Amino acid sequence: MNSQTFPLLIPEDTEGSSYLGFITIKGQEIPFGIHIDQRNARNLKNAHLRGSPELCRLVAGQEHRLEQCSTLEEFLIDLKDLLEQLVTKEENELMRSGTYYSTLLEELDAIGWDKLQSIDHALKNISLRIKYIGQHALLFACREAITYNHTVFNVLISHSDSSGRQHTIKVILPSSYPSDPPIVHVDLPTSISISLHSKSGLRKIISLFQEEVKQFQDLWLLLEDFDNHTWVLEPDKPKRSDLMRRIALGNHCSLQIDVDVKNPRGICECRLFGSEKTVGPLQDRLNKNLMRWDQSLTIRQNLEAILEMNFPSPLTTSKSEFNVECGICYSYRLNDEIPSQTCNNEKCGQPFHRACLYEWLRAIPTTRQSFNMLFGNCPYCDDNITTMVVEK
């Protein structure tokens, strides 16, 4: 290869199969490397290009060019031309239309310039703090973000609702805004999207979000009661959109609830986890007392009365008492899953991840399978144990 054409590229080995260096694109040096499979020296079909995240982002989907080029020098020339085209295209997309800026200025006029904290000359970084009656506070933070093949502005809005809960609204303003409407992402318990059109500005988005949030105040109150008075095993860090809680009951036993978003104070779906001897009596109480459900009480208070027990509390117990490791992989969390399969032998009671137990049993010759169930022996006490087939 002609070293004068690409003077910043040097071979890594004597065979000329690997090169490392920089490629200059519009005055910017981008680091990269390339490895050529010597078994296919006549073409670059199996060549491997590596480099910075920026380089990988730019050439994503263009790997077929490696197969079309017959020599390394031809490929590098083609790569340089491709990168210059992509970088030029992104630079052009950074130039927003006059309508975009005029619309943004009109929205700032409507919100009030006295709320403006800082702004740069290109209107790319904007910070606004707005206080509403009722101690509602909004904080705007606008920053530029580049994604593959298009440019957007991300507006992050921090909102404090009537109960003091903090929420984040992510607003994406496409480069074609206001011709195309903004895109809004919110963390709410339902998939209801905020309906927007090209006329919807920041004030409209805030107003719509405030109306959405009002309907979930009681739901969040009930779920926070669980978070504050029980040991929540799952989710590890509950979000506003999470309607499920799995709490520790002790003795390798746990309870999962799924709250009805339309009727949060109504009877919720319950599922008990643990050995049969531990879960059995609790399931009997649940079936017997479920109709005593009182909608004037919280979900936690109802379940404590129905199960005739007080749930372990952070005030009286430590969470480490319930974070029991899987008996096979010796970890608590495995791909966001906690041990949910327990040996039914009361003297054993060892918990396992379902995936771990499945892999263990399928490797044992004596394990039997019937339909989607595996029948084998506990790795600890050798007592009978079953688990469902885990689909990958």
The CATH number linked to 265 is 3.10.110.20
347 domain-assigned: yes
Residue 4 lies in a domain: no
Same domain, 142 and 206: yes
Query: Which pTM was predicted?
Result: 0.62
Instruction: Show which of 61, 94, 127 is a domain's final residue.
Output: 94
The token duo for 332 is: 């608590």
Confidence of residue 130 (pLDDT cuts 50, 70, 90): very low
Residue 74 lies in a domain: yes
Asked if residue 2 belongs to a domain, the reply is no
Count of domains observed in the chain: 4
Please write the tens of the pLDDT for every residue from 152-203.
Answer: 456 666 667 778 887 877 777 666 777 777 777 788 887 545 555 545 677 7
1 within some domain: no
Do residue 114 and residue 164 come from a single domain? yes
pLDDT of residue 226: 93
Q: Do 88 and 192 belong together in one domain?
A: no
**pLDDT 10s digits, 239-296:** 999 999 999 998 778 899 999 999 999 999 999 988 888 889 999 999 999 999 999 9
- 24 lies in some domain: yes
Q: Look at residues 277, 305, 320 and tell me which one is the last residue of a structural domain.
A: 320
Cα–Cα distance measured from residue 303 to residue 283, given in angstroms and rounded to the nearest whole number: 12
Query: What is the per-residue burial (b if ≥16 Cβ within 10 Å, else e) of 311-342?
Result: bbeeeeeeeeebebbbbbbeebbeeeebbbbb
d(CA 234, CA 199): 41
Q: Say yes or no: 303 and 355 in one domain.
A: no
Are 206 and 272 in the same domain? no
Q: Is residue 3 part of a domain?
A: no
Tens-digit pLDDT profile for residues 352-384: 999 999 999 999 999 999 988 999 999 999 999
- Show the domain range for 364: 324-388
Could you tell me which of 100, 99, 91, 36 has the C-alpha nearest to residue 69?
36
As a dihedral over the C-alpha atoms of residue 139, residue 120, residue 174, residue 108, rounded to 10 degrees, the angle is: 60
240, 334: one domain: no
Are residue 102 and residue 209 in the same domain, yes or no?
Answer: yes
Q: Is residue 54 part of a domain?
A: yes
Q: How far is CA 138 from the centre of its chain?
A: 24
Whether residue 19 is predicted with pLDDT greater than 60 in this model: the reply is: yes
Domain boundary among 162, 191, 213: 213
